[in-house]
Amino acid sequence: MAFLHPFRALRPTPDSARLVASVPYDVVTRDEAAALASGNPLSFLHVSRPDMEFAHLADPHAPEVYRVAVENLQRLRLRAPLVVEEDPSLYVYRLSRGDHEQVGLAGCFSLDEYDQGIIKKHEHTRHDKEVDRTRHMVALHAQTGLAFLTYRAEAAVDARVARVTKVAPLIDFHADDDVRHTIWRATPHDRDALVQAFKGVPALYIADGHHRIASADRARMTLRRAARHAAAELADDPGVAEADTFIAVAFPHDVVRILPYNRVVRGLGGRSSAAFLDAVREVMPVAEGTPAPARRGRVSMYLDGRWYELAVQAEGGESDDLDVSRLQDLVIAPLLGIEDVRADPRIEFVGGARGTGEIERLVDAGDASVGFSLYPVTVEDLMAVADAGGIMPPKSTWFEPKVRDGLLSHVI
């Protein structure tokens, strides 16, 4: 049974929503965030990426960075303005671009269920990233970014969500990337019905936002220690109660779209291009290829201006391994010497939204030596791995379109 918790959202007014909304904090570098927020004092990046205002600092996680985040949020609450709902609510969040549309339910979810494995993960998290977002949440007393969950579609939830969208939305705008973001606030009646309907969902799966949720878990422990130190009664402290939940949008699995998370690598393990190609041919079949593989079991490789098809899975094979795992085990680790893709600076990741043209650009410009384009992982793959208690390789999935930061924040 999945717990769904209405909350009093901190949100922009409809008129300012487009200016406030920003890309998720973790999909841009400090310099990219600064460029996106330039000339827009209402951009939520001033809150979610305060380090962009400290390009001179060697440590992007210095105490003054989080102090500025607090100041920027206070300033934004006045200028945008941002308002806090009078009553706890739930929201329906629709993302649409072109012929793709996905509708999800925004609310708060249980950190206890996360700890118990009812909310299932499929990735490891990095300690430094957890510490950063934990400090951010504790300083602001708010969770300012939406995690992205999925679940096996439930007809009762779908029907109730559809009811909410029959009236005029609270927020509706097109972002610069042509994604339309539409948000409805549920009526009290629909809110209560959604809470009941969601009890029929047996499990939730983290699609995007492992670090946000892990950090929310750490933040609540920090807040609990602070409450004990102040001799507060936890049961009477609404801030700590809110901190037992985290904010997310949950989308049914049958509407979620996953794009490939591609790779480029600098260096060929000390080999020439011809020698590297021969080395790959020794471990798997290689043929002329196209920029995007046509099916599972195949990976496209870009080398010296040409695309090749790598058969990382044998024809008719019964391997349950993901293509990204086979590529890592057969090529990236043994031939390119990259064991830890999270830490090795020679490998970079190209989100599917940037297309295979970005692989060609990087390799042709000499910024990378070889690129790999993968067939996308499916939602069913993700859920199967999570159900088995497994962990997918880093950077296996790119979810697109993405929800925006700043539209719904959770005060803790």
Task: State both tokens at 77.
Answer: 């609450």
Task: State both tokens at 139.
Answer: 């300083």
How many other CB atoms are there within 10 angstroms of residue 78's CB atom?
8
Whether 392 is in a domain gets the answer no
pLDDT score recorded for residue 316 = 58
Q: Are strands 245-252 and 286-288 parallel, antiparallel or unpaired?
A: unpaired
Say whether both 109 and 253 belong to one domain. yes
pTM here? 0.90
How many other CB atoms are there within 10 angstroms of residue 70's CB atom?
16
Average pLDDT over residues 332-360: 93
Say whether both 237 and 302 belong to one domain. no
For the ranges 142-146, 227-231, 310-314, 376-380, the lowest mean pLDDT is seen at 227-231
Longest dimension (CA), the chain: 69
Whether 42 is in a domain gets the answer yes
Whether 381 is in a domain gets the answer no
* Number of domains present in the structure of the chain: 2
Q: How confident is the model at residue 235 (pLDDT cuts 50, 70, 90)?
A: very low
Whether 384 is in a domain gets the answer no
CATH number, domain of 316, equals 3.30.1760
Q: Are 353 and 403 in contact (CB under 8 A)?
A: no
Tens digits of per-residue pLDDT, 379-395?
A: 999 999 999 999 998 88
Q: Find the Cα–Cα–Cα–Cα dihedral 241, 25, 36, 91, rounded to 10°.
A: -50
pLDDT score recorded for residue 203 = 96
Whether 380 is in a domain gets the answer no
pLDDT score recorded for residue 73 = 98
Tens digits of per-residue pLDDT, 283-294?
A: 999 999 999 999
Say whether both 90 and 151 belong to one domain. yes
**What percent of the chain is predicted at pLDDT more than 90?**
89
Residue 236 has pLDDT above 70, yes or no: no
Say whether both 46 and 183 belong to one domain. yes
Whether 134 is in a domain gets the answer yes
Say whether both 152 and 245 belong to one domain. yes
Say whether both 77 and 221 belong to one domain. yes
Say whether both 200 and 337 belong to one domain. no
Distance in angstroms (rounded) separating the CA atoms of residues 206 and 148:
6
Say whether both 72 and 111 belong to one domain. yes
Q: Which burial class, exposed, middle or buried, applies to 152 when counting CB atoms under 10 A from its CB (0-12, 13-18, 19+)?
A: middle
Residue 234 has pLDDT above 50, yes or no: no
Say whether both 286 and 366 belong to one domain. yes
Distance in angstroms (rounded) separating the CA atoms of residues 99 and 52:
35
Q: Are strands 258-259 and 147-151 parallel, antiparallel or unpaired?
A: unpaired
Average pLDDT over residues 196-214: 96
Distance in angstroms (rounded) separating the CA atoms of residues 36 and 41:
11
Average pLDDT over residues 310-326: 80
Please, what is the end-to-end C-alpha distance for the chain in angstroms?
24
Whether 386 is in a domain gets the answer no
Say whether both 243 and 269 belong to one domain. no
Tens digits of per-residue pLDDT, 96-151?
A: 999 999 999 999 999 999 999 999 999 999 999 999 999 999 999 999 999 999 99
Say whether both 272 and 242 belong to one domain. no
Give the helix, strand, coil percentages of the chain, each rounded to 5.
40, 25, 40
The residues that bridge with 84 in the sheet, in sequence order, are 10
Q: How confident is the model at residue 228 (pLDDT cuts 50, 70, 90)?
A: confident
Tens digits of per-residue pLDDT, 168-190?
A: 999 999 999 999 999 999 999 99
CA–CA distances in Å: residue 388 to residues 11, 152, 154, 313, 385: 37, 16, 21, 21, 5
What DSSP state is assigned to residue 328?
I
Distance in angstroms (rounded) separating the CA atoms of residues 83 and 347:
43
Say whether both 86 and 150 belong to one domain. yes
Whether 387 is in a domain gets the answer no
Average pLDDT over residues 328-343: 95
Could you list the residue range(s) of the whole structural domain that residue 207 is in?
A: 4-257+401-411
Strands of 293-397, DSSP E: 298-303, 306-311, 347-351, 370-374
Distance in angstroms (rounded) separating the CA atoms of residues 35 and 55:
12
Q: At what angle do helices 127-140 and 63-79 cross, to 10 degrees?
A: 50
pLDDT, averaged across the chain: 94
